[in-house]
A and B are shown apart, each in its own frame.
Chain A
Amino acid sequence: MEPALDGGSTSSSRHSKRFSQSLTPTGSGSLRVRKPSNASGGIHSGSMHKVIPDSMHTYGEGIKAVKEKDSERTSLSNVDWDLLVVGTVIKLLLFPAYRSTDFEVHRNWMAITNSLPLSQWYYEATSEWTLDYPPFFAYFEYLLSIPASFIDSQMLRVQNLGYDAWTVVAYQRTTVIVTELVMALALRSFIPKSIHPNIQRIISASLFFHPGFLIVDHIHFQYNGFMFGILLWSILMARNDHKLLSGILFAVLLNFKHIYMYIAPAYFVYLLRSYCMTPNGTISIPSFLRLAQSVLAVFAVSFGPFIWLRQVPQVLSRLFPFTRGLNHAYWAPNVWALVTALDRVLLKIIKMRKIDFEVDTSAVDSTSRGLVGDTSFAVIPKVKPIHTFAITIALQTVFLVKLWRNPTYKSFVAAITLCGYVSFLFGWHVHEKAILLVLVPLSLLAGERHSYFRTFTIASVAGIFSLFPLLFTPAETIIKVVYSILWCILVLSPLSKQLYEFPSGVIAVATDILERAYLYGFILLQVFVSLYPVLTKTRAQAGDTAAESLSKLEFLPLMVTSIYCAIGVIWAFLRFSWLYLTEKY
């Protein structure tokens, strides 16, 4: 297969060719063009060394050549290989790192899908970690379990709860790294036809190396990289004007993990407006039918067996358990975190001032520890799921109207981001991990202008920091902090250099200073979070009478983290909403 040369063409046949080539790069790297002796090779040759320069002396030249040829080639260049190898080695080295119960969750699902008939999958409840992802993910786990049976069949026994031999760890961690290549290839494919390939390259690399994925996937353990890979492919198809394919991929994604429903409204409006309607507003029935049939077909493949077995209500009850509280164990940095904090402050004031106010006494203790369960407010009126639902829909509608009027690609990506954002900020029982749903599409727009970049910076820094409490073991604490700092330096400074604009006007300058101060505040916050346990410990040793009340406040660092991050995340949301609503797409 020759490297694609279809520079500006957008015909669909060419594109499917490009797609397949990205998956099977056989073209030659820039350096190998100049070095005929090594002209063969690629992924299939099995030898990475062929694709790379014989010494690092040529690295710089490689970059130069890549820049020149970027717009023409779709095969992996040397820089891509370098990034891939470095990233993979970092992830390999994290094999022995801390892993959360999600690791056991996924092992259990692998065991369930492998050893039980399909009809039992959504009924099996030996482990407390029952299967609660949509069918495609179950099929995915089944596929993963096939090679697993050759490696260590012990990991596929449902009764073998908490099995964590070296074989399972190595196998499951490897599957995360390998499936993440879906994302890596999508990110690589974003570069060739972007307006600023150099900026897009940094953004793509930033997502491949995103601390969020490192923390959540490679340490904590989940398959987000794989699923965001599908999302990115879908977005890429929308950019390359394959809207039907984009819709199909999104439907597939929804059947992997239903959290992506947060952004489904943006997809719905975008596809309806730009695929099913002509620019002047007349509806194209054939297009509409094509889209509807495709999406229905995807759902039929996914849910078909369960419809046949009449198990759909059982599956849905597993997917949507409406028994959880407003906040997750650790408060995700959203509006409810701030409201809960405000409630605590009001309670304090009422107690101190002895104001006559009807306090919900049952809530006084429950909020203090921030543990799993229903968070109820002592002062502020109770929030019910229907309230959060209403707010979310209302705010999403605002952005969707804008998207309806401007159904362009950029507007679409911004609308995805904002839909995810609204759901994250106002949703019921939001996990801190859901911030990735905001950060990933937002990253794609980071290179637009300085104001986009600044929004991206604030949201990313606050969002990544808000993931830190997922890892609390000492060794991983160091890894997450050092890695995130490195990521910030390596990603933010080159982007900033390319995009910087002087703030104009007094308000802009003041905002700029405040935002900088906020960002540097994270250093202080990390110092506080690190030192707090040490300080309280020494006080406790000194026999301080306040020690008891302090141990009650052991969740204080978590609460402070949550609130501080919430401020940044919400500010970035306001910034971005303003940008989106005022921008002319």
Chain B
Amino acid sequence: MYGDYEAQRHWLEITYHLPVRLWYKYDLQYWGLDYPPLTAYVSWLCGFIAHKINPEWVALDDSRGIGSATSKVYMRFTVLILDLLIYIPALVQFARNSSLLRHRSAKAKDVALATILLQPALILIDSGHFQYNSVMLGFTLHSLNFFSQGRDLLGAFCFVASLGFKQMALYYAPVVFAYLLGKCLLLGWKSGVPHLASIGFITIAGFTILFLPFLSEFPTHLIPPIQRIFPFARGLFEDKVGNFWCASNVFIKWNRHFSKAVLPKLATGFTAIAFMPSMIALFAPAIKGFGTMEMAGDRSKSCQPSPTFALFTHALFQTSLSFFLFSFQVHEKTILVPLLPLTLLMVASAPTVEGGDWEWGVLLNNMACFSMWPLLRRDGLTVQYIGLLSLWNYAIGHNPLRQSSLRPLTLFAYSAAAVIQVAELLITPPTRYPDLFPVLNALLSAGVFGLAYLWSLKRLVEISWAMGTIRTSTITSTSAPSSLRPILEERRYPSSKELFNNFVSDSAAAGGGNDASNHTISLSTHDVSSLRKRHAPLHATSEGQAPLSAGVVDLTE
């Protein structure tokens, strides 16, 4: 009966009418509050305004299951307003200032912004199914923006807010932790330790503020929210979800082989192993380059992003996808978490690179919507599903038939998805397997997500290699000859092959640009003419060549 919509609306009602200590205890059977306190506070604010407009919408107990047109419009409006307040500013900030898009033209930035804004999966879940995922994602995006500007304290604070809004942000937490700690290592003893201390202080202060009302009677009041937020008593997975556990459950009945106490530990172990590569990629250069960012008497160093930031977005994707695939109690909606960093990577890369970030981003965005299809169908969002998916794919100009190394997979995934959906429409599943189509859906989705995971590992290695983390730590702007400093300043963070290609093609289109780009163009003038034809595959760099090192070598001639 009902769903997330009623849950969220119910929280408005209980937070507004009840004292804080009862929030996590009141009638838990009826959609009890199980999100962290920031959600509760936001619910209170929305409840407060709703009560001012029409008290019936949030009347305690009496409003349960209210479905009046005005109350629905109000609830949907709160999602849009919160979008406008948190998520969209973060996106705009990202599109305008992010180092990932630094060398792109203004038009390319607008396209990037539109691509993320029209992302169908998030719209379908937030404005269709009804949730406030964009708030959590928005806070994470804010923290990413702050990290990219080297404002780690604000970034950490925003990430605490993200965690405090929805525990799903935990999927990002290892990366944030590894990045910040790694930066402290690079900063060395002298500035690293104070930096670590202030980040730690901000984080603890953030959590303290969040849980402040629950600290009045320590710890009795703090236990209910914690228990509610982390429900380890539930099953290995919820509904049918396209992750490792649900898909493999078709062949291996995990519940029969393992006890309920073991499964969470098993899942946690799998997850930890799965995201370990990201941790290594972030920590290894930090340990190797211990203290290289330190500059005596130059405090501004801690105000710059660490060189490992080039890996940050990708590590976010890799880690959160690991969580989605292997962790305990995953919902199908959780795919939105890895989808955000992937879409950021996607818009920052050139659509023309075969099997690159852009193509994988499109494939995963589409398959994410498909994987949520059983849920969307239940919600009666068929038309919206078709409409938004086609609009987005049309708007970004996706052509699955275009020559690409990813084409076989894309075509297979789309046609299999189409077959499943058409079959679902025409055939009633046999009574023995009432869940036949959701299971097929989960299997297909899990397959694609699993391949995406493998691809993310490959990209992690590529980026680490291309970044030349070890080399950049020795050739910093300060140690290089003064003539090269502006170039290195400019060229330090762009990391991947795609970024390099974009850079060349954008500056080629702009007809010059700054002096750094002039240098880069001269590296591959024979390619510029072909780059002008945006649709022709890029030949700028061959697969194995690390663009940054190539750039550095050439420039030092």
List A residues at the B interface (Cβ < 8 Å). Answer: 34-35, 37, 47-50, 52-60, 82, 85-86, 89, 92-93, 95-96, 170, 473-475, 478, 534
List B residues at the A interface (Cβ < 8 Å). Answer: 53, 69-70, 72-73, 76-77, 107-108, 111, 114-115, 351-352, 380, 383-384, 386-388, 390-391, 393-402, 533-535
> Which residues of the other chain, B, contact A478 by a CB distance below 8 angstroms?
73, 77
> Which residues of the other chain, A, contact B380 by a CB distance below 8 angstroms?
96
Q: Judge whether A54 and B383 touch: CB under 8 Å.
A: no
Q: A53-B397, A85-B394, A534-B53 are in contact. Are A475 and B72 (CB under 8 A)?
A: yes
Q: A474-B69, A475-B69 are in contact. Are A55 and B396 (CB under 8 A)?
A: yes
Give which listed residue, B76, B383, B390, B533, contacts A95 with CB less than 8 A. B383
Q: Judge whether B402 and A48 touch: CB under 8 Å.
A: no
Q: Judge whether B397 and A49 touch: CB under 8 Å.
A: yes
Which chain B residue has the least Cβ–Cβ distance from A91? B387
Q: Judge whether A56 and B397 touch: CB under 8 Å.
A: yes
Q: Would you give the shortest CB distance from A466 to chain B, in whole angstroms? A: 23
Q: Judge whether B387 and A93 touch: CB under 8 Å.
A: yes
Q: Judge whether A57 and B402 touch: CB under 8 Å.
A: no
> Which residues of the other chain, A, contact B398 by a CB distance below 8 angstroms?
49
Q: Judge whether A55 and B397 touch: CB under 8 Å.
A: yes
Q: Judge whether A52 and B394 touch: CB under 8 Å.
A: yes
Q: A49-B401, A56-B396, A57-B351 are in contact. Are A89 and B534 (CB under 8 A)?
A: no
Q: Would you give the shortest CB distance from A61 to chain B, in whole angstroms? A: 8
**Assembled-state Cα–Cα distance A435/B72 (Å):** 32
Q: Judge whether A57 and B383 touch: CB under 8 Å.
A: no
- For chains A and B in complex, what number of residue pairs have CB atoms within 8 angstroms? 81
**Assembled-state Cα–Cα distance A37/B384 (Å):** 33
**Assembled-state Cα–Cα distance A54/B393 (Å):** 10
Which chain A residue has the least Cβ–Cβ distance from B387? A92
Q: Judge whether B397 and A52 touch: CB under 8 Å.
A: yes
Q: Judge whether A92 and B401 touch: CB under 8 Å.
A: no
Give which listed residue, B69, B107, B388, B535, contacts A54 with CB less than 8 A. B535
Q: Judge whether B391 and A85 touch: CB under 8 Å.
A: yes
Give which listed residue, A34, A59, A82, A89, contacts B388 with CB less than 8 A. A89
Q: Would you give the shortest CB distance from A82 to chain B, in whole angstroms? A: 8
> Which residues of the other chain, B, contact A89 by a CB distance below 8 angstroms?
387-388, 390-391
Q: Assuming A54-B399, A534-B53, what are 17 further A-B pairs, CB within 8 angstroms?
A: A48-B394, A49-B393, A50-B401, A52-B394, A55-B397, A55-B534, A56-B111, A56-B395, A56-B396, A57-B111, A57-B351, A59-B107, A89-B387, A89-B388, A96-B383, A475-B69, A478-B73
10 cross-chain pairs, A with B, having the tightest CB-CB distances, nearest first: A55-B351, A474-B73, A92-B387, A49-B399, A89-B391, A56-B111, A55-B397, A89-B387, A95-B383, A474-B70
> Which residues of the other chain, A, contact B387 by a CB distance below 8 angstroms?
89, 92-93
Q: Would you give the shortest CB distance from B399 to chain A, in whole angstroms? A: 4
Q: Judge whether A85 and B390 touch: CB under 8 Å.
A: yes
> Which residues of the other chain, A, contact B72 by a CB distance below 8 angstroms?
474-475
Q: Judge whether A54 and B397 touch: CB under 8 Å.
A: yes
Q: Would you give the shortest CB distance from B120 to chain A, in whole angstroms? A: 11
Q: Would you give the shortest CB distance from B390 to chain A, in whole angstroms? A: 7
Q: Judge whether B534 and A92 touch: CB under 8 Å.
A: no
Q: A35-B535, A56-B111, A85-B394 are in contact. Are A50 and B399 (CB under 8 A)?
A: yes
Q: Would you give the shortest CB distance from B422 to chain A, in whole angstroms? A: 16
**Assembled-state Cα–Cα distance A50/B534 (Å):** 16
> Which residues of the other chain, A, contact B383 by a CB distance below 8 angstroms?
92-93, 95-96, 170
Q: Would you give the shortest CB distance from A504 to chain B, in whole angstroms? A: 38
Q: Would you give the shortest CB distance from A58 to chain B, in whole angstroms? A: 6
Q: A89-B388, A92-B386 are in contact. Are A60 and B107 (CB under 8 A)?
A: yes
> Which residues of the other chain, A, contact B535 by a CB distance below 8 angstroms?
35, 37, 53-54, 58
Q: Would you give the shortest CB distance from A95 to chain B, in whole angstroms? A: 5
Q: Would you give the shortest CB distance from A52 to chain B, in whole angstroms? A: 6
Q: Judge whether B351 and A54 touch: CB under 8 Å.
A: yes
Q: Would you give the shortest CB distance from A492 to chain B, in whole angstroms? A: 22
**Assembled-state Cα–Cα distance A56/B76 (Å):** 30
